[in-house]
Amino acid sequence: MIGFNNPRRLAGLAAACALLFSATAPAQDVDAEAAIEYRQSAFKMIFWNFSTLSAMARERIEFDRDEFRMRALRVSNYSRQLAEGFAPGTDSGAPTDAKAEIWANKDDFDAKLADFQRESHKLYSMAAKADEASLREQFSAVSATCKACHDNYRKD
């Protein structure tokens, strides 16, 4: 049982909390090089999984519902981990294809990221039951969110 009425334990708890908060660096202290590598890795993971979804959507490989669903879930999960890779101050510090406009138009960039998160989550939600034609259509909707962001915010 946690002894909240025990002063020594309470002090220990306070110290643990202080450590927890000090470990959470403010956004501007993010290591730019690490953040850039992190977001590029996340995109590579997304691309890896998205490629199989694409092959199924384009009927280049046989449709497998369980696999489609698993890969859609991965893409959706990674899409939710991208934002921290674009923290303030991460426009340079390592080779990057991210345009500086991202940080100048952060609200628009965030909206495009939210579109990707919403559409990829929808793809995953649909994957349990929807027919292949509907999944193909939703796959295209997700692809469109990649393109919308790349066209504006990624160097060619």
User: How many positions of this chain bind ligand HEC (CB under 6 A)?
Assistant: 23
* Of 134 and 140, CB closest to ligand HEC: 140
Question: Does 123 contact ligand HEC by CB under 6 A?
Answer: no
Site for ligand HEC, residues 81 to 100, rule: CB under 6 A: 96-98
Binding mask 24-63 for ligand HEC (x = CB under 6 A): ------------x--xx--xx-xx--x-------------
Measured between alpha carbons, how far is residue 149 from residues 27, 56, 103, 106 in Å? 23, 23, 13, 12
Whole-angstrom Cα distance, residue 138 to residue 127? 10
Do residues 123 and 70 touch, judged by C-beta distance below 8 A? no
The tokens of 128 are what? 């349990």
For residue 119, give the amino acid letter.
Answer: E
Question: Does 113 contact ligand HEC by CB under 6 A?
Answer: yes
Backbone torsions φ then ψ of 105, nearest 5 degrees: -125, 50
* Contact residues: ligand HEC, CB under 6 A: 36, 39-40, 43-44, 46-47, 50, 75, 96-98, 109, 112-113, 116, 142, 145-146, 149-150, 153-154
